[in-house]
Amino acid sequence: MKAVLGPTNTGKTHLAIERLCAHSSGMIGFPLRLLAREVYDRVVKIKGERSVALITGEERIEPKEARYRLCTVEAMPVAERSMAFVAIDEAQLAADRERGHVFTDRLLHARGREETMILGSSTVEPLVRALVPQAEIVTRPRFSTLSHAGAKKLSRVPPRSAIVAFSAEQVYAIAEMLRRFRGGAAVVMGALSPQTRNAQVALYQSGEVDYLVATDAIGMGLNLDVEHVAFAGLSKYDGRRHRRLTPPEMAQIAGRAGRHQKDGTFGTLTGTGGHDSDFEPDEIYAIEEHRFAPLTKLFWRDPEPRFDTLATLIADLEAPPSRPELASAPEAIDLAVLKRLADEGAVADTVRGIGQVRRFWDVCRLPDFRQQGVETHSRFVARLWQDLRAGELGADFVAAQIAQLDRTGGDIDTLQGRIAAIRSWAYIAQRPDWVLARDEMAARARAVEARLSDALHGKLTERFINRRTAVLMKKLGPDTGLLSVRLEDEEVLVEGEHIGSLRGFTFQVDPGARLSDCKLLLAAAEKHLATLLGKRADTLVDAVHEGCADIALDNGALVWDGQKLATLAPGRSLLTPILVPDRALDAVPGPSRKALVAALERWLETALAPLAPLTRLDEASRSTEAGPDLRALLIALVERGGIAAREGSGVDRLDKQRRTMLSRLGVKVGALDLFVPAMLRPQTITLWRQLARVAGKQDGAAPDPAMPPALPAGSRRPPAGYRNLGKQFLRLDMAEKLLREAHNARGGEKHAGEKRAGEKRGTFALDPARAVSMGLTTASYARLLKLGGFQAIVPRALAEGQHGPPAPVRWRWRPSRRHTDAEPAAQVRRDSAFAALADMVR
C-alpha cells in the first residue's frame, strides 16, 4: 500500500492511471464526476471500451467484460474486493464538512488485492500514518514553480489566465467585462453539467478564448493550460457562513497555474473590494513553498449503520468515532433530510421493518443537485418515497417527468435549473430497484441532459464569447498580415469571423457590433481589405469590357451593388458630363483604381449612346455652316431634349439650305412641334433629364413609362414628348401624323372636282377613325385640328335648328394668326427665349 502525497502538478493522477493499466483489473475513486469522465476517456484509449466502466451517481457505463472502473468516491463498490488495484484521489477531502466522511471510509476500507494507492495533499500525511500505518509514504515535488504576481486590473490580466470568483453573479460580471475588451471567456462552475463544463473547457484549451472565469470548481483535478490564476476574492460562503479561504484551499486553486515543466503565477484582481481581497505575506509563502499546517482530524460517520428503526439509524449515524484522529461529521444534507422526514408522522409511519428503513435511507441519500436546501429537498424526497415504498416507479411516470425537462429554451439560469433537475432523475434511473425499464429511462435522462448541456453551452458562448473580437485581439499586431481574410457574397470574414459587409467598394462594420468593437473592426478592415477591393475592381473591369456589368445610372450617379461608384459633374456641354469617382474608390489599390475609372468612363460612353441624335445636334451647333438662326435652334433643341414647339422657334426664318441641314440631322419639323423621333422614348428622355439636372437645366416633367399615343390629362403638366389637348395629352409624333392626314384629306378633296349640294367651297370632311383608334376623343381631335390651323364648318341645318339626321362636319384650312396653343403664356415665354437665343448667337 502506498500514499503518494504532494501539491498540485506533481503527476499523482498520471501515476495512478499508469499503475491501474499495469494491473489485470483496477478501480480509482475521484472527487468529481467530471474528473472520472476525463480519466475514463484516457483509459478507454489504452484498454478499449469493452474493458472500462464508468460509475457515477448519474451515469453508469458498465460493459460485461469491464475490468477497470473509474468512479466517483461515493459510487465506489467498497465491499467488492476483486480489484487488483484500487486508488483514492484527493484524500485530503476527508476533512470536507459535507463529503469528508465518505473519503474517510474509503481511506479506511477501500483496498486492492495487489496494490492500493492513496493520492492527496501532504497535509493529510500525519493522519494517513496514524490511520493506515502500513502505507508507504511517497512525497512528490511540484514539476514547476508557482510564484506570486501581485494584484492586477482585469484589463491587465495576461492571456491564458483563469479568474476565480466565488459566486455565479461575480463569474457572470467578470465574463461580461472580458467579452467587451478581450473577446470573451469560457465559464466553469460547479452548477454546470459535466458536458457543459467540458465544452467550455474545450473552448479555452483550443485557444478560441484566452480567459477562463470559474468558481473554485477548477481547483479539483481539472488539467488546464493555465499560466496565471487571478483571485477575484479570497473569501466565500461555504453553506453556513462567509469565511476566508484557508491557505490549502488557496493553494489548491492557485496550483492550476503552470503545468508540467511550465511555471505559473497567481495573484488577485484589484477593484474587487473587501478587506480580504489580497494575500497576506504568510499565505504567499505557504503557497509558493507548499508548506501548510497538517490536518488534525478527519470526519467520520458510521458507514454500516443498523436499520432496525429510523431512530436506531439516526443514532448510529450520529454516533461519535472511536479513534482520536477522527471527528464526528457535521450533519450532511442526507442526514438532515432523514431527521426532517422522521419527525413527520405521515412519512415515518410508512417506514416499517429493516428493508423499508434501508430503502428509505437510500432515498434520503439522493444528492441535492438543485442546491435548494433541506426543506425543499426533503419535500422532493418525501414525494419520491411515496412512489417508491410500494415498489418501483413506472416507466410511463419517469418518462413523463423526464419529458417535462426536455426543453432547451430559456436563459442560462433556467437551463441550469433544468440540468440540475434532470441529474436528479438520472440518479434515480440508475438505481437497480427504483425504476422499471431502468436502462431505457437512464438512456433518456442522459440524452436530455446532453441536449440541455448543449443548449447551455450555446447560451454561455453566445453571452460571454465574442469570437470576432477574440480573433482580432490575438492577430492585430506584428503578424496581422497572416490573418485569413475572405469574402462570402458580401460578408467580410477574418479568420472565419464576420466583421462587416462590403457593398460596392464601401466597407460597413457589422451593425450588431458593440461601439467598443467598431474601431477594432475598422482597423482590421483597413489592414486587410485592400487585396479584396483590388480583386473586386479587376472583376468589375472585366465585366465592363464584356458588357455584362450590372451598373446603373441613377440620378446622376453610377451605382453598382447599391453603392455609388462615381457621380456626374457639369462638363463642356450638357451631353458631355465629367465623371467624378466616389471617395470609396480611394481604398482600391492604385493600378486597379486607374483601370476601374477608365472602365467606368467607357461604360458611361456606352450608356449615353442613345443620346447620339442630340450629340449630332450639339456638334452641328458648333459648325460655321449652321448660321446664327439654326445654331440657336439646335442649342435650344439639345437643352430641351430634342423637343420644341414650332411657333416662335425661328424655323420659319431658315433658308432652304439650313432646312435641309436640319432635316439631315434627324429633326422632324411638324405643323406644331419640332422633335427628334428617336427622343420620343422613355429611356432616352429619362437619360436626358439626368444630364439636364447635372448641368443645372430644367428637365421638364417625367416621361410616361409606356408612352402610349394618348393619355388622360387631369391637372398635371404634360409629360415630356406630349402635347396638351385640354382633357388629353397626345404624343407629338401621333399629333403630326393626324395633322398630316388632315392636310392630305384637304388636298384630296381640292382636286376631286365635285362638291355635294349645300357644301361650301374649300371645305372637306375628315374621318376621325384614326384619332379614335389612338384613344383620342372627338373633342380632343377637334382641339388638335384647331391648333393645327383647321376650322370646323357648322352645317346650316344645325345652325338653324332644323331636325333630321345631322350633316357631317366639314373643315377648312384657315390658320389663325393668334397664338392658339393650349398654354399661350408659356408659349410666349418660349418665343421670347428663342428670339433671345438667336440674338445671342448672332
Residue pLDDT, tens place only, 668-699: 998 899 999 988 888 898 898 889 889 888 76
- Model confidence band, residue 648 (pLDDT cutoffs 50, 70, 90): confident
Q: How far is CA 762 from CA 368, 670, 754, 794, 806, in A?
A: 117, 23, 11, 14, 20
Note whether 689 and 804 are same-domain residues.
Answer: yes
Q: What is the mean predicted confidence (pLDDT) over 280-293?
A: 91
**Residues 21 and 69 sit within 8 Å (Cβ to Cβ):** no
At residue 474, the pLDDT reads 56
Which of the listed residues 566, 594, 622 is the one where a domain comes to its end?
594
Find the domain containing 83 and state its range: 2-139
CA pair distance 707, 726, nearest whole angstrom: 18
Q: Is the pLDDT of residue 69 over 80?
A: yes
Whose cell is 395633322? That residue is: 739
At residue 59, the pLDDT reads 86
Note whether 726 and 791 are same-domain residues.
Answer: yes
Q: Is the pLDDT of residue 842 over 50?
A: no
At residue 577, the pLDDT reads 92
Residue 50 domain-assigned (yes or no):
yes
Q: Is the pLDDT of residue 276 over 70?
A: no
Which three cell numbers, joined as nine digits, stand for 114?
Answer: 495487489
CA pair distance 271, 171, nearest whole angstrom: 15
Rama region for 79: left / alpha / beta (φ>0; ψ in -120 to 50; rest): alpha
| Letter string b/e over residues 572-603, b meaning 16 or more CB atoms within 10 A of that residue's CB | ebbbebebebbebbebbeeebbebbbebbbeb
Half-sphere exposure of 164 (CA within 13 A, CB side): 30
Note whether 561 and 585 are same-domain residues.
Answer: yes
Whose cell is 473509474? That residue is: 70
Considering 265-274, 655-664, 693-702, the range whose residues carry the highest mean pLDDT is: 655-664
% of the chain with per-residue pLDDT over 70: 85
At residue 137, the pLDDT reads 94
Q: What is the mean predicted confidence (pLDDT) over 23-44?
A: 92
- Model confidence band, residue 527 (pLDDT cutoffs 50, 70, 90): low
Note whether 634 and 749 are same-domain residues.
Answer: yes
At residue 215, the pLDDT reads 87
Q: Which of 655, 692, 677, 631 is closest to 834 using CA atoms?
A: 631
At residue 750, the pLDDT reads 58
Note whether 121 and 157 are same-domain residues.
Answer: no
Q: Between 587 and 229, where is the model more confident? A: 229
At residue 824, the pLDDT reads 42
Note whether 634 and 774 are same-domain residues.
Answer: yes
Calculate ∠ Cα 287-291-293, nearest 5°: 115
Alpha-carbon torsion (77, 79, 83, 89), positive or negative: positive
Note whether 199 and 89 are same-domain residues.
Answer: no
CA pair distance 398, 378, nearest whole angstrom: 19
Residue 756 domain-assigned (yes or no):
yes
Give the pairing type, strands 710-712 and 728-731.
antiparallel
Note whether 667 and 574 are same-domain residues.
Answer: no
Residues with Cβ < 8 Å from 572, sequence gap 6 or more?
none
CATH number at residue 205: 3.40.50.300
Residue 350 domain-assigned (yes or no):
no
- Model confidence band, residue 706 (pLDDT cutoffs 50, 70, 90): confident
CA pair distance 294, 235, nearest whole angstrom: 21
At residue 760, the pLDDT reads 62
At residue 166, the pLDDT reads 87
Tally of domains within the chain: 4
Count helices and strands in the chain by DSSP H and E runs: 28, 35
Provide DSSP, 291-340. Answer: --PPP--EEE--SS---SSHHHHHHHHTPPPSSTTEEEPP--HHHHHHHH
Q: Is the pLDDT of residue 836 over 70?
A: no
- Mean pLDDT across the chain: 84
CA pair distance 632, 834, nearest whole angstrom: 7
At residue 470, the pLDDT reads 61
Q: Is the pLDDT of residue 39 over 80?
A: yes
pLDDT tens profile 818-829: 444 444 444 434
Note whether 584 and 507 are same-domain residues.
Answer: yes
Q: Is the pLDDT of residue 518 over 70?
A: no
Note whether 672 and 757 are same-domain residues.
Answer: yes
Backbone angles phi, psi at 714, to 5 degrees: 65, -145
Question: In this predicted structure, which of 303-312, 461-470, 563-572, 773-782 has the lowest mean pLDDT?
Answer: 461-470
Note whether 782 and 665 are same-domain residues.
Answer: yes
At residue 532, the pLDDT reads 79
pTM attached to this predicted model: 0.60
Q: Which of 655, 619, 617, 657 is closest to 633 using CA atoms?
A: 617
Cα 327 to chain centroid distance, Å, stands at: 56
Q: Is the pLDDT of residue 189 over 80?
A: yes
pLDDT tens profile 573-632: 888 999 999 988 888 888 999 999 999 999 999 999 999 999 999 888 888 888 888 889
Residue 682 parent element (H or E): helix 682-694
Q: Is the pLDDT of residue 832 over 60?
A: no
Whose cell is 462638363? That residue is: 571
**Residues 132 and 1 sit within 8 Å (Cβ to Cβ):** yes
* Alpha helix positions (H), 345-489: 345-348, 353-364, 373-388, 395-404, 412-430, 438-464, 467-475
Longest CA pairwise span in the chain (Å) = 151
At residue 359, the pLDDT reads 93
Residue 558 domain-assigned (yes or no):
yes
Strand partners, 765: 810
CA pair distance 559, 550, nearest whole angstrom: 9
- Model confidence band, residue 833 (pLDDT cutoffs 50, 70, 90): very low
Residue 560 domain-assigned (yes or no):
yes
Which three cell numbers, joined as nine digits, stand for 353?
Answer: 421493518
Residue 106 parent element (H or E): helix 100-109
CA pair distance 565, 545, nearest whole angstrom: 17
Note whether 11 and 91 are same-domain residues.
Answer: yes
Q: Is the pLDDT of residue 563 over 70?
A: yes
Residues with Cβ < 8 Å from 654, sequence gap 6 or more?
629, 630, 633, 662
Residue 345 domain-assigned (yes or no):
no
> Strand, helix or coil at 456?
helix
Q: Is the pLDDT of residue 106 over 90?
A: yes
Residue 356 domain-assigned (yes or no):
no
Question: In this predicted structure, which of 18-32, 375-389, 800-814 has the lowest mean pLDDT?
Answer: 800-814
At residue 83, the pLDDT reads 92
At residue 54, the pLDDT reads 94
Residues with Cβ < 8 Å from 315, sequence gap 6 or more?
none
- Model confidence band, residue 327 (pLDDT cutoffs 50, 70, 90): very high
Question: In this predicted structure, which of 49-58, 105-114, 810-819 has the lowest mean pLDDT?
Answer: 810-819
At residue 424, the pLDDT reads 93
Angle formed by the axes of helices 627-639 and 824-841, to 10°?
130
Cα 813 to chain centroid distance, Å, stands at: 77
